[in-house]
Structure 1
Amino acid sequence: MSSSATAQLIVTISQYIMIDVGFFVLFMGMIGNTISIVVLHKLRLFRGNPSVFYFTIESIGNLAQLLINYPTRIMMDGFTIDYTNISVVWCKIRAFLAPVLTLISIYTVCCASFDQYLSTHHQTYLRQKCTLSLAKYLTFTTIFFIILHGIPFIILFDLPSLMVCTTYNTIFSRYYSSVYYPVVQGALPMIIASSFSLLAFLNVRRVIRQRIRIVRRRLDRQLTAMVLARATCLVALILPYTLYRIYILNITVNQDQQVLLAINNNLFQSVTITLFYVNYAANFYIFMGTSSRYRHQVKHVIVKKFWLPFKHWLCVQLKCANEHRVAPEGTPSYESSIELE
């Protein structure tokens, strides 16, 4: 097989990865984030908890990322259809939305790790600072600065006569390639999330020796395990793309090396970008895999809050005679509110 045929085969495989795996990740991510938002909102045990507030904001940000940025990425790398090279308006809009939506979810995980570190600290005054008001303040302040950070992308990205949407400002181009990708989107959130989640894990091991209600103690353990697992997966999923960006910046490939060009520009990019977007689709499944109590809570919400009311409504519509029977004494009906730990 000639080098050109091999290179074309690699490009085709890369496109299949972006399309087939990409749509699967998109579909599963939409389902998972939606269920996560519903579960976190419906359970009374989670209401008012700062970490749960962060998880909810993250899931909303993940949905926005998957519905706005990921489909356009699949179109560009999978179907080779790039609307940013057709419309200057869409060029600037996507240049703004891409970093903003990307960073909101990532840094929300960082805030959740920091919050869980405070809530499990052995010092009482630090635990008292862990409030829903602080969580809202940190979240909206972070989003505000991320939006400010995205404004230069609107201004400096352009679509000139070359018909390629990119930044033509030398200074901003250096920042974009050498600071934004490896640091702002890569190393910085990975360090923050992993450090504080690990410290929270160490803190929660001391909880047994503290005079804390058993319900609060179990909730702290559950949320710490969820935060630690989420931070670990965040590092594992965005690290490959960060290393790929650093690798691309520091390697020079001749244009006649078609196979190596196809591997670098297509295969590596498709695999690392897909892993990167898995980060926005996997939070619900991470929680399900690491917390048996969360699995029980999800089952409770789905069955008690949705399935049984739907079954009742269906029976009413069908004039089911069993709906008029009185439930046996001591047997809780679907309408009873069960407070799960």
Structure 2
Amino acid sequence: MSSINQVANSITIYGGLPIFICGTLGNLLNIRLLWRTRHNPCAFLFLVTSFINCIVLFYGLFTRILSTGFYLDWSASNRIWCKTRTSFSQASFYISFTCTCLASIDRFLVSCRQEKYRKLSRLSIAIWAVILSIIFWLALSIPYLVYLELLPNSSTGVISCSLVRNDAFSNYQKYFSFPVYYGLLPSTILTITGFLTYRNTNKLQIGRQRQVVQKQLTSMMLLQIPIILFSTLSYVIFTEYSTFTATMVKSANQGDVELMIRNIVSITCYIAFACPFFVFFASSKSFRQEAKILFLCRKPAILQRNQIQPYSTSALRKIRSISTRINQMPSYYTTRVNNIKPITINEK
């Protein structure tokens, strides 16, 4: 084995394993921490994205580490695994990006001043959008189940999982499916919605409007966008470069350099699927507090010491009706009522 192949394998192992381990644990923690807020449309989309990211990291990154780093390529010996691995990994890639784009669109709708746009941010719409996207991408991955087979290499004779020769599907995959669905479409949606959300958020100056925007979920989404763009676009650009220059005669040094770059961008593209937990942890104070409670195995304190007990909605209505009656009372009754102090919870 040449030294360049050893370096490439080392990059795959020592760069891929930390991303896989940290990303899988982070996405599982996201599922645990976001489960309580799953009725919020954006939090629900983050929850689904974290679940799909676990599938992406297993089908895509973990199997790549085994095949490239440890030479354990199950797809070269098992026909069913050959077909399902590629089809499910492709579908999970696109489903994850779709859910992220839907979350970005939801943040834009919530940040709008017009009420008709804010009303579109509903849990029912988010659920149906996720269901339809899953059906769409799974249906679009069916050709991989048909055209993938265990075929011997024409030059080396080694059996590998390859596409049956089909020029139409091959051209569709190289020049349209991968660059558009993986690169151009999600990048455009995330860039436009992220910019519009940031602009709308800066325009909201009133405190009540800032609460409507749900600043923490918005910051969680906005910080995630540049990481996704960086990790995916580099992979798409280099893959398309390799496709267009496949017929060119290249020197040995150029081939070695491209092999190194291919391994690096193939590993870094999974950062987009491994980073959500760390982005949420860095951008949201409440998320950090809940993570701290989970890590330390503590129960969340509902009421702190000497904290005034909050009123419920029904209690507030009663208070308003009482205050209306108080305004109609004589002055000496009003003085006595105003001397009433709120009930506090003692330290014991």
Q: CA deviation at 1:207?
A: 2.8
Change (3 A) 1:299 1:254: same
- Could you tell me which of 275, 284, 305 is aligned with 1:282? 275
1:312 is aligned to none
1:164 has 2:155 as partner = no
1:17 has 2:8 as partner = no
Q: Which has the larger radius of gyration?
A: 2
1:325 is aligned to none
1:189 is aligned to 186
- Could you tell me which of 251, 254, 262 is aligned with 1:260? 254
- Could you tell me which of 94, 111, 120 is aligned with 2:85? 94
1:294 is aligned to 287
SS at match of 1:60: helix
- Could you tell me which of 176, 181, 185 is aligned with 1:179? 176
Residue deviations 1:96-137 (CA, integer Å, cap 9, x gap): 112011111111111101111111111101101110001111
Q: CA deviation at 1:225?
A: 1.2
Residue deviations 1:42-92 (CA, integer Å, cap 9, x gap): 3xxx34210100100000011111123221111222223322222222111
Cα distance in 1 for residues equivalent to 2:134 and 2:54: 16
1:117 has 2:108 as partner = yes
Q: 1:132 is matched by which residue type in structure 2?
A: L
Alignment of 1:55-134 (within 5 A): 55-134=46-125
Aligned-pair identity in percent equals: 25
Contact preservation (8 Å) 2:41, 2:126: yes
Cα distance in 2 for residues equivalent to 1:161 and 1:38: 45
1:200 is aligned to 197
Q: CA deviation at 1:153?
A: 1.0
- Aligned pairs, number: 299
Contact preservation (8 Å) 1:96, 1:154: yes
Q: CA deviation at 1:164?
A: 2.8
Contact preservation (8 Å) 1:201, 1:225: no
- Could you tell me which of 131, 138, 142 is aligned with 1:151? 142
Contact preservation (8 Å) 2:61, 2:267: no
TM-score by length of 2: 0.79
Contact preservation (8 Å) 2:151, 2:162: no
Residue deviations 1:210-264 (CA, integer Å, cap 9, x gap): 854x6445xx211111111112211011011001111101224777732322222
Unaligned runs of 5+ in 1: 310-328, 333-341
Residue deviations 1:131-184 (CA, integer Å, cap 9, x gap): 000111111111110111111111111223542322221111111111122111
Change (3 A) 1:148 1:47: closer
1:138 is aligned to 129
Cα distance in 1 for residues equivalent to 2:306 and 2:34: 27
SS at match of 1:48: coil
Cα distance in 2 for residues equivalent to 1:231 and 1:50: 18
2:245 is aligned to 251
2:215 is aligned to 221
Residue deviations 1:265-299 (CA, integer Å, cap 9, x gap): x2111100111111111111112223344323422
1:242 is aligned to 236
Contact preservation (8 Å) 2:111, 2:212: no
Contact preservation (8 Å) 2:108, 2:194: yes
- Could you tell me which of 305, 318, 324 is aligned with 1:330? 305
